[in-house]
């Protein structure tokens, strides 16, 4: 045996490495274009920002066999219907506030972040707000003074003062409401919303 077999040769694996890498990358680019076209605000998966004017729920879909957002009739945030542009501006303020206040280093957003505080993906729909009619006001009061309105459920963990203004808090609430309407492929599973609890 005076030559290296193909499967053990450097040049063979070099070619394999190049082709596999290039092929995978091209495939990723194609999938990225496809995914981007399907997740723009206003698409079936990610609703338009003005969805905050409507009632949002999250129910088990027997046909798909997973939980899905359900968009209902009018239920404007703070009883004030917003245009698409106004809604986008408010959600944008909220999103920027969640970044500026570093929410993701205690909470998770779409399940990503830190695990010191609850997930925010469906927080708009959480049964602990008890009364859907009073939910915005409770959230507003909480965000403006978290330690004063803390409910630690026995853990002793409180959200600190972050200096969130009234306008920023309204933005955060709009962002959370909009996010709860995103189709997250059934995550979280088995989540019983405020409305489900009411029934």
Residues 7-36 that bind other proteins (CB under 8 A): 8-10, 13-14, 16-17, 20-21, 24-25, 27-28, 31-32, 34-36
Among 105, 131, 134, 137, binds other proteins (CB under 8 A): 105
Of 74-82, 137-145, 148-156, which segment contacts other proteins by CB under 8 A? 148-156
The rounded distance, in Å, linking the Cα atoms of 51 and 178 is: 6
Q: Which residue has the tokens 């190049």?
A: 18
Which residue, 64 or 72, has its beta carbon nearer to other proteins?
64
* Sheet strands (E) in 9-162: 54-61, 66-74, 108-109, 112-113
How many CA within 13 A on the CB side of residue 6?
2
Q: Which is nearer to other proteins, 74 or 97 (CB)?
A: 97
The rounded Cα 29 to chain-centroid distance in angstroms is 24
**Which residues neighbour 139 within 8 Å (Cβ) at sequence distance 6 or greater?**
129, 169, 173, 176
- 63 makes contact with other proteins (CB under 8 A): no
In the complex with other proteins, which residue's Cβ is closer, 49 or 82?
49
Q: How far is the CB of 100 from other proteins (least distance, A)?
A: 4
Among 33, 78, 85, 102, which residue sits at the site for other proteins (rule: CB under 8 A)?
Answer: 102
- The radius of gyration of the chain's CA atoms, rounded to the nearest angstrom, is 23
Beta bridge partner(s), residue 109: 112
For other proteins, the binding residues in 64-93 under the rule CB under 8 A are: 88, 91-93
Q: Are 77 and 173 a contacting pair, CB within 8 Å?
A: yes
Stretch in the footprint of other proteins (CB under 8 A) among 78-86, 136-144, 162-170: 162-170
Q: Which is nearer to other proteins, 2 or 63 (CB)?
A: 2
């Amino acid at each position: 045996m005076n030559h290296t077999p193909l499967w053990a040769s450097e040049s063979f694996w070099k070619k394999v490495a190049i082709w596999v890498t290039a092929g995978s990358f091209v495939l990723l680019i194609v999938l990225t274009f496809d995914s981007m076209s399907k997740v723009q605000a206003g698409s079936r998966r990610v609703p338009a920002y003005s969805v905050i004017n409507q009632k949002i729920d999250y129910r088990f879909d027997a046909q798909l066999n997973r939980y899905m957002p359900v968009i209902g009739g009018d239920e404007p945030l703070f009883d004030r219907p917003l245009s698409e542009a106004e809604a986008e501006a408010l959600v944008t303020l909220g999103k920027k506030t969640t970044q500026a206040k570093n929410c993701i280093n205690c909470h998770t957003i779409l399940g990503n972040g830190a695990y010191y505080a609850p997930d925010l993906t469906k927080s708009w729909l959480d049964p602990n707000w008890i009364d859907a009619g009073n939910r915005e006001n409770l959230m507003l009061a909480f965000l403006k003074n978290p330690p004063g309105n803390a409910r630690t459920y026995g853990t002793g963990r409180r959200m600190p003062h972050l200096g969130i203004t009234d306008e920023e808090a309204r933005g955060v609430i709009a962002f959370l409401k909009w996010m709860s309407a995103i189709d997250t492929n059934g995550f979280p599973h088995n989540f019983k919303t405020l409305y489900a609890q009411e029934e």
